[in-house]
Amino acid sequence: MAQELLKYERQREEMVNRQIQARGIIDPNVLAAMRKVPRHLFVSEALADQAYGDFPLPIGDQQTISQPYIVAEMTQALELSGKDRVLEIGTGSGYQAAILAEIAFRVYTIERIHPLFLKARKLFDELYYHNIITRYSDGTTGWRDESPFDAIIVTAGAPKIPQVLVNQLAVGGRMVLPVGGRHAQELLKIYRDDDGIHQSSLGGCRFVKLVGEHGWTVHR
Ligand code: SAH
């Protein structure tokens, strides 16, 4: 058991050095979180030994846990401080939410597939992530009662930027989301300030579909 933990700790260190730092991620809080969160617990036991590899992995229900570098890149782009309240759409395995929870004040995360929602919620309990608030619903409409958010991250690909989510972003807030077609998207970063909305691109990416009222419809 202790040996097993040490093995995964070493794999995490190697992951951060070779995949994350080597590709230019510099935010010390992001690097520390990636060194700390036990990613192997967010995948099935059969895949635990592959958890620190440079690729996404299946998590059931045709969904995936993102590649470690993408998680780091999106988290860094959110420019988090310890005070931020963050909204995540697409809890999935819960790994991204755990990384956010290490850095932000509080994380609100929404998942639309019930078994994934239940599994992630249980894991957050077991790992004592008391600053993660979970919800089972369509995240494309956001979480109005808890808005505005300092940061919003969408971890599934949207056909266009959901305006409802932009509206739930605080002035000074940052949002990161993949936008584009079904098979390939562009990772966008959105800033909201007094003048309105500013947008920049972080490059190409490939995510599972954001399905919901302001995303893709279920059957398409
Ligand atoms: N952040 C996750 C990535 C999971 S993949 C992780 O770290 O593992 C994307 C997830 O978004 C899937 O679980 C999918 O079911 C979910 N999703 C897609 N559309 C959604 C919606 N409208 N509301 C909430 N979750 C959604």
Question: Does residue 215 fall inside a structural domain?
Answer: no
Could you identify the atom of ligand 1 that is nearest to the CA of residue 95? 7
Structural domain span for residue 14 = 2-205
Has 93 been annotated as catalytic? Answer: no
Question: Does residue 32 fall inside a structural domain?
Answer: yes
CA atoms within 13 A on the CB side of 148: 12
Handedness of CA 63, 69, 72, 76 (dihedral sign): negative
Question: Does residue 14 fall inside a structural domain?
Answer: yes
Helix (H, G, I), strand (E, B) or coil at 183: coil
Question: Does residue 58 fall inside a structural domain?
Answer: yes
| Block residue for tokens 């239940």 | 118
174, β-bridge pairs: 151, 191
Kindly give the confidence (pLDDT) of every residue in the chain, 220 residues in length, as a single tens digit, with 9 standing for 90 and above.
Answer: 788 889 999 999 999 999 999 999 999 999 999 999 999 999 999 999 999 999 999 999 999 999 999 999 999 999 999 999 999 999 999 999 999 999 999 999 999 999 999 999 999 999 999 999 999 999 999 999 999 999 999 999 999 999 999 999 999 999 999 999 999 999 999 999 999 999 999 999 999 999 999 999 986 5
What is the number of domains present in the chain? 1
Question: Is the pTM for the entire model greater than 0.95?
Answer: yes
Question: Does residue 93 fall inside a structural domain?
Answer: yes
Question: Does residue 174 fall inside a structural domain?
Answer: yes
* CATH code, domain with 193: 3.40.50.150
Question: Does residue 213 fall inside a structural domain?
Answer: no
CA–centroid distance, residue 3 to ligand 1 (Å): 33
Question: Does residue 211 fall inside a structural domain?
Answer: no
